[in-house]
Structure 1
Amino acid sequence: MLTDAASGCLVAAGWLSGAAGAAVPAVNTQVVFTGSLAADPAGERIEQEAVFDSVFTTDGHIAGSGRAPQRPDHFAPAAPEPAHAETSGCEPPAPTSTLSSTRTAVPTLAPNSTASWTTITRPPAEPTLDAAASTSTKIVTITRSKSTSTVTVTRTRSTSTITVTRTHSSTTTSTPVSTVTPTALAYSPYADDGSCKDADTVKSDLQKLVTRKIATVRTYTTECNMITTVNDVLSELGLTINQGLWISADGVDSIDGQLSDFIAWGQQGSNWDLVAMVAVGNEAITSGYVSASDLQSKISSVRSQLRSAGYTGPIGTVEQTGAFQSNTGLCQPSVIDFVGLNAHPYFDASASPLTAGAFVVAQAALVKAACGGNDVFITETGYPSKGNTNGLNTPSEANQRTAVANILDVYGGNLTMFTMYDDLWKNAGSYGVEQSFGIIELLA
């Protein structure tokens, strides 16, 4: 059985063994293959799982490389295994082709070992190419829930040699879950490996907000060159920013450098007009980085500096419901201009994808009551597509779609959705979900 490694969907089925007539994919990119990698003279089959970097075939030519997992070999009878035509939640597999002549066996892979090979057999009596043809091209399209991949295969005949060349392209498809557009979308300019994205990549990312008519980007810091990669393109793209100043485990003064950079940028031209709000810290109390009194004092200092620099917009902080309920003095209208609330239904075991919107509404009401009627703005909400089950919440792409749609339809669009892309640069966290909140393709 051959499974696409990216989607987990079945691409083709069959046993790759030493005998003639084994079913193999006509064309494929990286796949996971579970089956017979070799056949010994006694007819027994070695059962292993291997990851193939590439597998393709034409007229009896197979090439590939793979590795075996860290587990003992398992021997089983050599009876043919039936091909599987379906995998739950996946598209039907691509057609398979069949070898029609004997080939040498693929090297046996010992546990945790690697091997590469090229196996050549005599071309079958009726080759894929017509006798008079010199080239032939076939296009295979694999459609997944979030993207479409196209593999173009060109077969070229030269005397008795047939060469296969492949090109692969992938396009992302957008399937909106709601007609409601959020006011803002959270964004972090980090590549999957944790490095900082360059300016062109960030601009391309932010252009997707413009396409979806999302007016504001929420950021968490000025680090990672964000002043030049994010802030400097806001005016060009017609976006505004909810600027965050990240308080780390080093305490409230850890934002001082960020604040200086932000003020220097804001004082250039009319940049202050691009700032919708400023959030001092993100769950700093919840994370145990600061006390409520220290945070309140810091917000007062930041307010004084920003006002002196010419910024006249709202200034607040961001926490979870419990932190505001336990520290009501922090969130009164006399202290902050808005209450930034992160409300994630996944982390409440009694919530569910179908009640996600009602959960956000309830959390906002609780915080508003605790904070003297101060304005509450949802600065994060969303739902993971992968991770561990928590009560009624089981992360999956389907449940993510349901939850995001329910939030937008029930709460409305005056909020910040979390987040633009899956944050693979993060640790997955104790629930295994922190990397999997990306939702840009779900938004209209």
Structure 2
Amino acid sequence: MTSLDAAIGGPSLPQKRELKTALPGPKSKEILDRKAKAVAAGVTYSVPVAAVAAGGGVVVDADGNSLIDLGSGIAVTTVGNANPRVAAAVAAQAASFTHTCFMVSPYEGYVEVAEKLNQLTPGDFEKRTALFNSGAEAVENAIKIARIHTKRTAVVAFDHAYHGRTNLTMALTAKAAPYKTGFGPFASDIYRVAGSYPYRDGLSGAEAAKRAISQMDKQIGADQIAAIIIEPIQGEGGFIVPAEGFLETVVAWARENGIVFIADEVQTGFARTGTMFASEQLGIEPDLITTAKGIAGGMPLSAVTGRADIMDASHGGGLGGTYGGNPVACAAALATIAEYEENNLARRAQEIGEIISQKFSALAETDNRIGEIRGLGAMAAVEFVDADGEPNAALAKAAAGQAVAEGVITLTCGTYGNVIRFLPPLSISDELLIEGVDVVIEAVKAN
């Protein structure tokens, strides 16, 4: 057990990779067969196991197989699955009450979470927060707030963006399959412009911002735009880190033109990138920031936080929802945030990122199929290419598949499907992380 494990309560499961069966094992297969008969076909999975326990840096399935977790449920269980402090907070709140609806009978937990987010998010100005259930719901509400504040309707999103699977957020999302195909028509007055993808566009931040601003000016008109929304590091699009100066220039232009700038930090938020929020490292103070995923240790919760005058623009009753800011989820969020702060997990994210980068940099010296190693902190990715520098989705898929078969939960992403991403829980030990990354590297070599 590392010192970090001890600091956050320690994993209750043996921290090792162990395969007792091929995947899926017979018990998992039985459950997955039942899934096929009971669950809608559109709900798929990438790792063929039925989880029964998880903690530290492992997930254990119904057959007793222990897999190294390099995905954190897509950046959700950042403080670890079943973190002792979070589990205790959930149990205590559930024993008191599980629901009243904040819009009917308010409770202190919701207020405490709002106060904490107002304090933690970037920007030295008065803020307000509203709580919801999912990242997509937070994005939808951020757009609502921006539109009512500006009295405008146009919204700008970017190439390679991912913002969710609801109707409005599908319109904001760039990639068609599997997120949008066949589900239209989508919400109107949504516009897409080119962003910054340094590896592929070769532009400086200033050049990419000039291109984006020109598109917005010419194709929409600044006086028609309610909001610009972007992930500071684009997640599903391939963990794309914009060139230096891109975001700052776009934010400055938005301010000059009365446009609300929304940072979608659903995936980047809460210590994942080596600071509490990625915006801090990228030099911006968003007008509004959307958060979810790592906010509550696995409980469903999301938020919109931002400038008080913008957040207060809505009429009474215009924001909310039956389950938004559920008291159990709020208790989990307060415990989760305490873990980030008290154990300096942002620093741990930096250490994790350094290990991943070093391992793949060594491989890149002999394997020219590695196009770029990028990311911030424990949000790291490797983009694979062919001999011509074109996206190599086949390699990413094959290597990730082999790693999973060998007991390492590995996720792919990217507009072109050619990126393997790493989102390990910050509770993972160095030893387990290195073993997991080594398995992925050997899988790359083998394919």
Tell which has more relative contact order, 1 or 2 (C-alpha 8 A, sep 6+).
2
TM-score, scaled relative to structure 2: 0.28
| Higher radius of gyration, 1 or 2 | 1
TM-score, scaled relative to structure 1: 0.28
